A and B are shown apart, each in its own frame.
Chain A
Amino acid sequence: GAGVSQTPSNKVTEKGKYVELRCDPISGHTALYWYRQSLGQGPEFLIYFQGTGAADDSGLPNDRFFAVRPEGSVSTLKIQRTERGDSAVYLCASSFGQVGNTEAFFGQGTRLTVV
């Protein structure tokens, strides 16, 4: 079956612009995660959804970052007034079942470049 799909795969935007990154999780997966990864670093947690609600958004760096999952499937990560420091690979993952005792499936990521 289809895995986790992220679009676009690459996004170049100008400083100050607004961007939306989309994640299509595996069908039926209740948990959805967003991460960002800078070169040479491990993925940095941003936000985690269980169903439609954000179970933990403690990783969002500031109020320019926002994520939604209105119907409990597709999620959109929104970044306002982008800055050059936002340039990174943004990863999405999904999982099903009991917290801890289930594997997460990751997408290939969206590479965001702010110029």
Chain B
Amino acid sequence: DAKTTQPNSMESNEEEPVHLPCNHSTISGTDYIHWYRQLPSQGPEYVIHGLTSNVNNRMASLAIAEDRKSSTLILHRATLRDAAVYYCIPHGSSNTGKLIFGQGTTLQVKP
């Protein structure tokens, strides 16, 4: 299974952009890069995923390095509701399709 490295915690001010990094240097060429987040006392929630190209959706943007060994989740304007644990997960046939969660990054958003 591909290993990931994320900072344990990050802080942001409300309404400012947040860049959450993830290193996944051992990712397989066919694995997608998924991001999930988990709000307190909730189940994980899908945020975004991509393979090679940068991706945008209503929640966030995903910037994927050209060599695919790292990626960055971008929240364009953090809100208090974005305070959560963010998980970066390589996902694909190389790990039989299962999602493997690491420790994630705990994002604190200050008003």
Interface residues of A (CB under 8 A from B): 4, 31, 33, 35, 41-45, 48, 50, 55-56, 59, 91, 93, 99-101, 103-109
Count of chain A to chain B residue pairs whose CB atoms are closer than 8 Å in the complex: 64
Interface residues of B (CB under 8 A from A): 30-32, 34, 36, 42-46, 49, 51, 85, 87, 91-93, 96-104
**B92 pairs with A99, CB closer than 8 A:** yes
**A101 pairs with B98, CB closer than 8 A:** no
B55 to chain A, nearest CB (A): 12
Chain B, interface SS category:
loop
Question: Looking across the interface, which residue of chain A has its beta carbon closest to that of B47?
Answer: A103
A29 to chain B, nearest CB (A): 13
Further 6 A-B residue pairs, CB within 8 A, beyond A48-B96, A91-B44, A108-B43: A31-B97, A41-B103, A56-B96, A56-B98, A99-B97, A104-B46
